[in-house]
C-alpha cells in the first residue's frame, strides 16, 4: 500500500501553471528524495503534499485517505524546514510540545513524548533553552524533534541540512538515516538539491527539472542508468563525460564513432532499437574510464591533475575534446604526459542527441 499518492496534481500560482498533471506514488516506510536544481518545483510539490499550498486539480492521498482539501494538521504529516522555523519566543520544550498542545493532548502524554523524542535526538539537556541559545545543528535537531513528537506517518523534509556547514551536514545526514531505520514504518519525503544527500539517504530518488519528473529510481538506477542527459549530468561529481558522436554499423555490429574514438556497442543494453547513422551522445562516468596501455582510446594528453586524497581526477584531451578520468588516489600524472584510455561498453550510457533520452 502506498502512504503518499500524488495523482495528476496541477498547482498554479496566479496565472503561472507550476505542475501539469504530476503523479507520484510513495510506498509505506519508503525514503523518497526529491532532487533537482532550484526552481524545479520540488519544494512546491512538498508544500502541496503538506497542504500548505492549494492544489488546482488532481488529488493527494495520504494513508488511504483523500486529503486534497484537508488542513495540514489533519494529514498525519510532520515537516522540517531549511530555516528550522523554531518559534523564537518559546524554549525547546515548548517548541516541541506546541503541536500537541494545539491538539489538546493530555499533559502527561505530552511530557512523555517530548522526553522520548529528546532522548532519541540527544537534546534532553537543551530542553529549557531558547532557540537563539542553540547552534545551527542543535536547532535542526530540535526541529526534527518537534516533527517527531507528532507521531506522524509521513515526514516531510524541506532541505533540512542546507543551512548547516559541511561537517554538521554529514553528521545529521547519518542521523536522519539512522532515525528512519529506527522508526521503521515512517515514510519520509526529503527535498534537496544536494546529490550526495539524495544518493546516501534515498530508497528512491525523484529527479525533477522544470516542474517535471525526469526519472524515478533507486540511487543505483539513477546513477548507473540515467534516463536522460539532464539526469546524467545532474547526478555525479565530477560530472559524467559526454561525447557527441554517431552510431555506425560496422562489420561486428553497431559502433559509436567520434573522430578517432570508437566503441563497439555489442554489449550495450539498448532500450529502444537504434538506427545506424543516428546522432548520439555517449556518457561515461569518470570512474569508468580506465588508464591502460592496452586501452581502446589512444592519443590523450594530460591537462590538469586534481589530487583529492581518496582519488585523483585527471583532465585529459585528444583531438575530439577533453574528458575527466577518476582514478585511485595514489595515481600520479604530470601535465603533458600522454595516455591511453579504456572504456567498458557495458558501463556507458547512450542518449539520443536530439531528444536527450536514453537509448
Partner 1 sequence: MSAAVPQGRRPRHLTIGRIGVYAFLVTAALFFMLPLWIMVVTSLKPMEEIRLGNILALPAAMTFEAWTKAWSSACTGLECNGISVGFWNSVRILIPSVILSIIAGAINGYALSFWRVKGANVMFGVLLLGAFIPYQVFLYPLVRIFSLTGIYNSLTCIVLVHVIFGLPTMTLLFRNYYAGLPIELFKAARIDGGGFWSIFFRVILPMSTPILVVATILQVTGIWNDFIFGLTFAGRENLPMTVQLNNIVNSTQGERAYNVDMAATMLAALVPLVVYFVSGRWFVRGIAAGAVKG
**Is residue 323 within 8 Å of residue 243, measured between CB atoms?**
yes
Position 82 contacts partner 1 (CB under 8 A): yes
Segment interacting with partner 1, rule: CB under 8 A, options 81-89, 167-175, 310-318, 324-332: 81-89
Size of the site for partner 1 (CB under 8 A): 25
Segment interacting with partner 1, rule: CB under 8 A, options 95-103, 109-117, 232-240, 299-307: 95-103
Our CB check for partner 1 shows the closer of 99 and 238 to be: 99
When binding is defined by CB under 8 A, the residue of 4, 32, 33, 78 that contacts partner 1 is: 78
Our CB check for partner 1 shows the closer of 163 and 239 to be: 163
Minimum separation from the CB atom of position 84 to partner 1 (A): 8
**Is residue 174 within 8 Å of residue 208, measured between CB atoms?**
no
Position 130 contacts partner 1 (CB under 8 A): no
**What is each CA distance from 177 to 142, 146, 171, 187, in whole angstroms?**
16, 17, 10, 12
Position 312 contacts partner 1 (CB under 8 A): no
Position 178 contacts partner 1 (CB under 8 A): no
Place of cell 525523484: 206
Position 44 contacts partner 1 (CB under 8 A): no
Position 60 contacts partner 1 (CB under 8 A): no
Position 77 contacts partner 1 (CB under 8 A): yes
Our CB check for partner 1 shows the closer of 53 and 216 to be: 53
Minimum separation from the CB atom of position 143 to partner 1 (A): 8
Position 316 contacts partner 1 (CB under 8 A): no
Position 50 contacts partner 1 (CB under 8 A): yes
Position 98 contacts partner 1 (CB under 8 A): yes
d(CA 207, CA 222): 8
**Is residue 31 within 8 Å of residue 180, measured between CB atoms?**
yes
Position 65 contacts partner 1 (CB under 8 A): no
Minimum separation from the CB atom of position 73 to partner 1 (A): 4
Position 133 contacts partner 1 (CB under 8 A): no
Position 103 contacts partner 1 (CB under 8 A): yes
Using CB under 8 A, list all residues that contact partner 1.
47, 50-52, 71-73, 77-79, 81-83, 85-89, 98-99, 102-103, 146, 150, 158
Amino acid at each position: 500500500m502506498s502512504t503518499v499518492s500524488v495523482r495528476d496534481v496541477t498547482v498554479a500560482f496566479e496565472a503561472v501553471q507550476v505542475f501539469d498533471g504530476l503523479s507520484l506514488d510513495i510506498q509505506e516506510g519508503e525514503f523518497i528524495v526529491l532532487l533537482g536544481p532550484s526552481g524545479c518545483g520540488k519544494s512546491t510539490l512538498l508544500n502541496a503534499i503538506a497542504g500548505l499550498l492549494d492544489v488546482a486539480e488532481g488529488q493527494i492521498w495520504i494513508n488511504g485517505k483523500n486529503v486534497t482539501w484537508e488542513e495540514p494538521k489533519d494529514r498525519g504529516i510532520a515537516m522540517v524546514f531549511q530555516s528550522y522555523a523554531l518559534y523564537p519566543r518559546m524554549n525547546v520544550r515548548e517548541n516541541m510540545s506546541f503541536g500537541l498542545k494545539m491538539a489538546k493532548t493530555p499533559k502527561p502524554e505530552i511530557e512523555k513524548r517530548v522526553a522520548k523524542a529528546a532522548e532519541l535526538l540527544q537534546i534532553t539537556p537543551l530542553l529549557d533553552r531558547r532557540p537563539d541559545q542553540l547552534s545551527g545543528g542543535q536547532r535542526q535537531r530540535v526541529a526534527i524533534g518537534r516533527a517527531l513528537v507528532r507521531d506522524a506517518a509521513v515526514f516531510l523534509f524541506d532541505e533540512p541540512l542546507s543551512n548547516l556547514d559541511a561537517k554538521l551536514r554529514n553528521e545529521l545526514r547519518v542521523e536522519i538515516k539512522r532515525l528512519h531505520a529506527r522508526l521503521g514504518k515512517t515514510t519520509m519525503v526529503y527535498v534537496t538539491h544536494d546529490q550526495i544527500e539524495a544518493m546516501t539517504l534515498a530508497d528512491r530518488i525523484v529527479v525533477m527539472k522544470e516542474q517535471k519528473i525526469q526519472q524515478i529510481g533507486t540511487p543505483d538506477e539513477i546513477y548507473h542508468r540515467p534516463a536522460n542527459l539532464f539526469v546524467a549530468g545532474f547526478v555525479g561529481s565530477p560530472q559524467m563525460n559526454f561525447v557527441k558522436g554517431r552510431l555506425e554499423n560496422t562489420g561486428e555490429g553497431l559502433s559509436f564513432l567520434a573522430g578517432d574514438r570508437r566503441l563497439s556497442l555489442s554489449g550495450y543494453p539498448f532500450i529502444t532499437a537504434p538506427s545506424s547513422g543516428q546522432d548520439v551522445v555517449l556518457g561515461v562516468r569518470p570512474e569508468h574510464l580506465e588508464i591502460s596501455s592496452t586501452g581502446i582510446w589512444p592519443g590523450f594528453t594530460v591537462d590538469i591533475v586534481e589530487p583529492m586524497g581518496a582519488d585523483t581526477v585527471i583532465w585529459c584531451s585528444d583531438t575530439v575534446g577533453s574528458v575527466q578520468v577518476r582514478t585511485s588516489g595514489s595515481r600520479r600524472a604530470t601535465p603533458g604526459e600522454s595516455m591511453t584510455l579504456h572504456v567498458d561498453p557495458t558501463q556507458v550510457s547512450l542518449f539520443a542527441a536530439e531528444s536527450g533520452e536514453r537509448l
